[in-house]
Chains A and B, each alone.
Chain A
């Protein structure tokens, strides 16, 4: 999917993560802030990259503020932000393809 415009998903509540995405020319940039960065930074990065790979996102600038979210929450927020940035979040989601 292509990151066409700025989009935000998620909140700053405990157990959630807020993901902001912007278009970027041909590169993928991740900026992660987390209250548990020392313990889980690598895992958070891994989940985000896997999710983006599954959505076939090749470029975009992602700002992630993690508040202790589970992997499934991070994944949901990344998918939400990407679909919103492509103006495709409202309907006909390919649910079966979200691994």
Chain B
């Protein structure tokens, strides 16, 4: 039987791919795609009369398939359904890495899930605090409450914006350039950064519109998201490439780090590099770029 190592709260999560937990053909080898996280879905992808079977399928997959470095998160059913508590018992007993709270609207929702996870960890003898949480923000209210949600539990590593339902609530459609999502995206990123957790952009549903997908991915990166939800394996490569630092960014970061070390030794705080003023926040940003370059496998220097 497989027992996964204790999940890392903050790890690389550029790509999170959804898969129907009820479909053995999908979940049996989901680790081969190289996505950072997979999200096994017990919610919308599973028909109402198959919710029970999806849990047995999920539990047995977790116990016998080695997903390796691919993080395994499960999207549970909404808190207004009769399913979410059993979903949590199943997830915790199976030893998944994290639980994605669908349609999260308040800190209370997070606390409800947290309490159920606490009691399931006790019931199944799972290390307390092992199971991580993330919140999916899918409604105007959820997005308005993003900061309270992001700070509601120590288990919570981040939040994802989920635009399908959100656009309907806002009476808008997908627009080229994403103007209909600007406020929501900005609010979610800012709330997550203020809370010190990660944030993930919504998935792109129009699989055949690659240009639209690429534009949205680039925009998510520019807005400050840590990664993006996906529904198709062919979207993975572009997301990974977009969220990795460019060689130009890496070279500049290296220059900053090296110069900072020299300047600090001689007692200088603020100075200029390539004609631009830099100080400590620049240095921290440069360290983050190099760290990200290492994690994404594109760093070949010696820092």
Residues of chain A touching chain B, judged by Cβ–Cβ distance below 8 Å, are 9-10, 13-16, 69-73, 75-77, 79-80, 83-84, 89-93, 95-96, 98-99
Instruction: Using A72-B60, A76-B59, A98-B59 as known contacts, say yes or no to A91 and B85 having CB atoms under 8 A apart.
Output: yes
Instruction: Using A76-B60, A77-B56, A83-B52 as known contacts, say yes or no to A91 and B25 having CB atoms under 8 A apart.
Output: no
Q: Which of B23, B86, B123, B124 contacts A90 (CB 8 A)?
A: B86
Q: Which of A16, A89, A91 contacts B24 (CB 8 A)?
A: A16
From B25, B61, B93, residue with most partner A Cβ within 10 Å: B25
Q: Would B52 and A72 count as touching, CB distance under 8 A?
A: no
B122 → A minimal CB distance (Å):
12
Q: Would A95 and B89 count as touching, CB distance under 8 A?
A: yes
A49 → B minimal CB distance (Å):
16
- The count of A-to-B residue pairs whose CB atoms sit within 8 angstroms is 80
Q: Would B52 and A15 count as touching, CB distance under 8 A?
A: no
Docked Cα-Cα span, A96 to B90, in Å, equals 9
How many B residues are at the interface, by size bracket?
A: 20 to 34
1/0 per residue, CB under 8 A from A, across B62-89: the answer is 0111000000000000000010011001
B9 → A minimal CB distance (Å):
24
1/0 per residue, CB under 8 A from A, across B100-143: the answer is 00000000000000000000000111000000000000000000
- Which residues of A sit under 8 angstroms from B1, Cβ to Cβ? 99
User: 4 new A-B pairs (CB below 8 Å) besides A15-B28, A73-B61, A77-B53?
Assistant: A72-B60, A73-B28, A77-B56, A93-B56
> Which residues 228-274 of B have a CB within 8 angstroms of A?
none
Instruction: Using A72-B64, A72-B65 as known contacts, say yes or no to A95 and B25 having CB atoms under 8 A apart.
Output: no
Docked Cα-Cα span, A9 to B60, in Å, equals 14
Counting CB contacts under 8 A, is B57 at the interface? yes
